[in-house]
Amino acid sequence: MFLRFSQSRFALPCAAAAAALFLDMVSFAQQPGGRPTAAPPPAVIVEKVEVQQVGNPARFTARIEAIEAVDIPARVTGFLHAVSFKDGQAVKAGDVLFEIEPNELEASVASARAQVARAEATRQSAERTLARNRELFARNTVSQAVLDDAQAAFDIAAADVQVAEATLKTAELNLSYARITAPISGTIGRATFTVGNLVRPDSGSLARIVSLDPIRVAFAISEGLLVTVRQQEASGNPVDPNALKLSLRLANGTDYAQRGRIEFVESEVDPQTGTVTARAVFPNPHHILIPGQFVTLSVQEKEIPSLPVVPQAAVLQDRKGRFVYLLGRNNAVSQRRIETGARIGNGWAVTTGLNGGEQIVVQGIQRLADGMTVQPSEGQPSGGGS
């Protein structure tokens, strides 16, 4: 018993000392020359700050509207004699579209002309009678009553001439309505009546003409944005519509080639939506834009400023604001305070703090500290991706 106790007592201190000695030997063997060295600098990826044109367009969901659209009615009653266009054809103002059978209308014109001739003959006869009675009255041959009757007959005859002439003008106007012409230029739709059908003023639209070039784009702006614009105008800095760049993105994801201009803004706010309708005009020579179509309207300044753009991943933030790490001499990094503006793709436009051309850390940024030495490698630019 005494022997076992003694062995156990002295075995523990010897084992601990041996383990400590072994660890010291391993640590000494791992260091070149037997001396411990510091950990290697952290590896990071850096990029050069690029200067890009920075635009922050306002985007609106807009709807295409025709500037002019006209329904073509019949203005007189008659059988349709001819249809002078094809469905979907482009027409010009003044082109003949329909012809209504003119025989009955021509007869009305002839009758009205005869009535004019008859009324004129009656007027001339009454005028001669009035002249004779005036001479006789001057010689006291006829009484005042006879002269008054002659004067009245003449006045009635003259009025009858005016009535007949008005009837003739109405008949001639109705005859002109037998040839229906296009009041505006545009694209005409389907004819709702064919040759041989009886049409009248209450028959509804015979066809519809829509003007497609130029075309209008209607969009809604918020009440708050309108107030901001009005305040800016009141302060002496009005928005110049000619300084704005208007572009469209179509439903298939492509960009419309033509550029538009602001036409006008409504003067009333819609109480249900809290928005104001504004309208822009775009050229539409190839009729790509169709009334009723929805598009995305982008509005931005024509003169787009150029600013440095940095990837979002390179920007950190603390209580003092945002900052990036710049790579300096001897691969040492330093904090640079920045102020950011618009978001550009996967990056930020920098308004203050960078000029462009600097090397900034974009990966491995979380473990850095001001003044730390790093092992940099070049990365692919990614700040302004769309």
**pLDDT tens track for 9-34:** 434 344 444 444 444 444 444 455 54
Does the pLDDT at position 113 exceed 70? yes
Flag whether pLDDT at 254 surpasses 70.
yes
Q: What's the confidence (pLDDT) of residue 340?
A: 87
Place of tokens 């190839």: 286
Cβ atoms within 10 Å, residue 278? 21
Domain with CATH 2.40.420.20 in the chain: 44-54+305-378
pLDDT of residue 329: 87
Whether the pLDDT of residue 121 is over 90: the answer is yes
Cα–Cα distance for residue pair 215/186, rounded to 1 Å? 11
pLDDT at 342: 75
- pLDDT on residue 7: 42
Amino acid at 57: P
Range(s) within the chain of domains with CATH label 2.40.30.170 = 59-66+216-301
Task: Tell me the pLDDT band of 380, cut-offs 50, 70 and 90.
Answer: low
Least confident of 91-95, 228-232, 286-290: 228-232
The average confidence (pLDDT) of the chain is: 83
pLDDT bucket at 302, cuts 50 / 70 / 90: low
Give the model's pLDDT for residue 244. 76
Could you name the CATH architecture of 44-54+305-378? Beta Barrel (2.40)
- The pTM score is 0.59
To the question of domain 59-66+216-301 being in CATH 2.40.30.170, the answer is: yes
CA 151 to chain centre: 70
Neighbouring C-beta atoms of residue 222, cutoff 10 Å: 14
| Closest to 222 in 3D by CA, of 281, 278, 296, 298 | 278
Which range (65-74, 170-179, 235-244, 323-332) has the least confidence?
A: 235-244
In the chain, what are the helix, strand and coil shares in percent, each to the nearest 5?
30, 35, 35
Delimit the CATH 1.10.287 region(s) of the chain. 102-177
CA distance linking residue 276 with residue 230, whole number of Å: 13
Asked whether residue 170 carries a pLDDT value surpassing 90, the answer given is yes
Would you say 67 and 209 are in contact if contact means Cβ atoms under 8 Å apart? no
Looking at the domain covering 102-177, what would its CATH class be?
A: mainly alpha
> Which pLDDT value is given to residue 160?
94
pLDDT, greater one: 3 or 342: 342
Average pLDDT rounded to a whole number, residues 281-298: 92
Residue 234 pLDDT: 78
Counting Cβ atoms within 10 Å, is residue 25 exposed (0-12), middle (13-18) or buried (19+)? exposed
What is the rounded average pLDDT of the residues 294-311? 83
